[in-house]
Structure formats: structure tokens, C-alpha cells
Amino acid sequence: MLKEGFAFMFISAFMALFPVANPVGAGFIVNGFLSGLDSTNRKTIIRRILIDYLCVGLGSLAIGHFVLLLFDLSLPVVQLGGGLLICRTALSWLGDSDSSVVRRPANRSAEPIDLEAIESQIFYPITFPISIGPGSVSVILTLMASASTKDDWVRSAVNYLVIAVVIVLMCLILYLFLSQGHRIMQKLGSNGTIVINKMVAFFTFCVGMQIVVAGVAKLFHLDAML
């Protein structure tokens, strides 16, 4: 029974979090920030992004309910606010005319001022909300609510552990595309990179709209919108 619950929770958490977290699309977007960095600086920045990613994801899992109680927030409100922020971010990506999110030629080596500018953006906006955004946090909080089992703390602890494993898995997928994405983008060329970035931005906007709709539907009990 425990194994069945583990497998079901894992699949449910993965299916719920993957399209919102979108580590594949986020990897391509973040590579726009990292273009021009040498391999040493690139590895350092990627490592810091991943650490921040896990802090946000696992931190939301650990203290998410406490934060909601502290600020007297409901999940639909978090979904609504998070979805609007995702839409705003996606619209800014769609408005960029360059092939990367940061307007810096990809073939130019990073200067110290460029590296300093990137370091100042590691948490915001590179990690949050691009790599892991409010939508992902709201999904994690929703999974927490469904993972809690009354009068069975062992089952609840196992479910929470499964969600943590899924968050780590999303981080590993993101790492794969951050470490290899620049090679893919080099093969695609500037035009291919522009197309991918715009497609990712559009689908990110759609994900944000879906989260907004879900939040509005839950706030006003409009089941037909879901």
C-alpha cells in the first residue's frame, strides 16, 4: 500500500509540477543570460542558480503552510498572483527583440562588469521567477495540501519526501539544460535561438494564464472554468 502510494504521489507530483516549472524552457531562457561567459564562470553561476532553486523549492515545501498562515493567504490567491507575475515576465520576454534575454552578443567574452551584473541577477530574475516561479510555488503548496494525511504522520512524511524528490528531479533536469543548452543554441544559430525563446515565452504566458484562471475559478467557485 505504501509503495502504491509512493508511486502515485510521485507521478502526480511530477505531472503537476513539470509543465509549470518547465525546466526545459527555463534552461533555454537562462542560457540567454549566460551567453559569453567562460566555462569556469558559467559553472560557478549555474551552481549558484541550482542552490537558489533548491532553497526556493524545498523552502516552499518546508515552510509554505506557515507563510500562508502568517500572511493569511489562500492557495487561490497565491495562484492568481503567481500567474499574473508569470504573464508579466513572459510578456517582457516576448517584447525583447534580441535572441537572448540579456542584450549581449553571444560571441563576446564576458567582461568583469558583465559578470558582476549577472551575479546581481542570479536570484532575481534568473532563479525566481524564471527558473522556479510563483506558479511552481503554488503547485508545491497545493501538493502539500493533498499530501497531508490526517492521523497518519508516517504517510504524510513519505508524501512530503516524494514531493521533495520531484523538486530535486526538476533541478537536475534544469542543470542538464543549463550545462548543455549553450551547445544546442550554438548549433541552432541566432535565428533558431530567437524562435525557441519566443515559443518558450509564449507557452510560459499560456501557463501563467492557466494558473490565473485556476485561481479565479477557485476564488469564485467557477468549476466550469477548470
Q: Where are the domains of the chain?
A: 2-73+99-185
> How does DSSP assign 93-146, residue by residue?
HHH--SSSSS-S-TTSPPPHHHHHHHHHTIIIIIIIIIIS-HHHHHHHHHHHHH
Q: Cα torsion for 79, 80, 82, 86, to the nearest 10°?
A: 120
Model confidence, pTM: 0.75
Residue 32: pLDDT over 80: no
The reported pLDDT for the residue numbered 1 is: 43
With bands split at pLDDT 50, 70 and 90, how would you rate the model's confidence at 4?
low
Give mean pLDDT, residues 161-175.
96
Distance separating alpha carbons of residues 74 and 213, to the nearest angstrom: 15
The reported pLDDT for the residue numbered 108 is: 44
| The residue to which cell 542560457 is assigned | 31
Residue 67: pLDDT over 90: no
Which residue did the predictor score with more confidence, 171 or 94? 171
Residue 60: pLDDT over 90: yes
